[in-house]
Every structure is written in C-alpha cells, then in structure tokens.
A = this chain, B = another copy of it.
C-alpha cells in the first residue's frame, strides 16, 4: 500500500460528483499536465438511480504552491464537473485527540501503534473523565486532561473539552471506550470528525451493556463496530466491524475479555482508514477505499 509518509510528499484527493463520462479523464489529465504521478486510485459509482461517482486519487505532489493547485483544480475541474471535493497532503500530519474513560485497552492499542509508527498523526491531548490512565499518557509525553463529568456539570465540562480540542486544532477525535454520551451540541461541532468504538456488532445490541445482552440472547458471534458519531446514539455511519466466535462456555466476563481484542482491531483499522483519507461519507453510510 502506498506510504503517505515517504520521502516526497503526496496529495490525496477525495471527490464526489454526479456520474457522467469524462471524470477520470478530467482529473487525471489535469494532474498529468501539472507533472503529478498518480500513485493509487479507487472509484465507486452508485447505482444509476442515485447516479453518484466517488473517487480517491493519491499522487506525488507536483512542485507547485498548494493554494494555486487547489484554485486551479476548482476552476478547471471541480466547477465544470459539479464536484464536492477535498484534498489532504502527506506533509500535513493530522492531529488526533483521544477521549477515554477507565478501560485501557483501546487507548493503549492506539498509543502503541502510534509509537511504532503505524499511525501517522500527532496526539496533542487525551481527555478522560477518570484519572486512572494519566500515567500511561505521561510516559509517552502526551498531555492528559482530567475532565470529570456529572449530570449537573456535563454542559460546562463538555465546553471545556471542546475548548481544548479547538485550541489544539484537532483534526479528529477518537472515543476509545469513552463511556459518556456526548451532547448534540458537541457532536454537531465536529461532523465526521469523531470516531467511536461500540462493543457490539451494530445494529445488534445498540445502547448499554451489549455483552450482557449478547449473552442473554445466546448469539454465537460477538462483535465490535467503529462508526462516526452522529446525533443518534449508535446510529452513525459504520466504518469497520468484525466478530469473534463464542459459545455457551463463555460467561459475560469472557465476552468482555474476548471483545477487547475485537474492539482494539476494529478501532485501529477505522482510525487508519480515516487518517489515510480512505473514508467518504455517503448519506448515513461510508465508502472505505
């Protein structure tokens, strides 16, 4: 897979527009004339009734001003083809915040992968409503903010968190088993910029206590789901899911333990896809290139 962080910077273009002939030709011709080499391209056409075309194109950045590149792309390609588009550059290192409660497994997984170089982001802060994971963050020189939340303080504490995220110019936030439900105000401030890991195979077992409910129903597989957070609890666009096999032998505690491994894997894959600009929203669904 192409490396976003190799020697020379690359750019990644995400496009959505009405499907019609000439889109690939238009974009690739534009890039070719600037001297950009396409490294990877993926595309998807929805069914004809919807008539939409999506594309992700990664290319070596030509030797030119980014502002100029974007202005020319808008004028010569995007406007004529009625495109929604965004561009990201591999020399722009995204800023990822993490919010966590007391369970450590998702946080530690992200930190280990970050330290090992798998996640090409900066982590300017971790926010938690518990103090228990401060030491793990300090050991990696990541600022840890303890922001406890009660029913009566929720509004002001959320504002405190929002202020921190905005001060740090965070690109996106990962809820790594953050056990508080964010308010609509919070969520709407960061559309498609908050990723949550839910500990069930959604839409099965939405809401609280999914492992308990999976046990009670007697399912033979348990799962985890990473999704963008929207106003409706556990209803946001799904980025990634996976499952593991269980049996009558497993107690609820066993499910929780097994589930941790799925949560770690699923959240990691979703975060990587987001970092590498592989996810495009389409209604309440995702296209993951």
Contact = CB atoms under 8 A, between A and B. Distances in A.
Contact of A45 (B25, B39, B118, B219): B39
A84 interface: no
B238 A217 contact: yes
Interface in A234-251: 237-243, 247-251
Copies of this chain per assembly = 4
Given A21-B37, A139-B139, A220-B238, A249 B1 contact: yes
B29 A25 contact: yes
Interface string A103-144: 011001000100010100000000000000000000100000
A108 B285 CA distance: 35
A36 B24 contact: no
B41 A24 contact: yes
B242 A217 contact: no
Interface in A266-289: 282, 284-288
Interface string A49-88: 0000000000000000000000000000000000000000
A259 interface: no
Given A25-B32, A202-B204, 18 more contacts: A1-B251, A21-B35, A24-B32, A25-B25, A26-B32, A104-B116, A105-B116, A201-B221, A217-B238, A218-B238, A218-B284, A218-B285, A220-B239, A220-B240, A220-B288, A248-B282, A248-B286, A248-B288
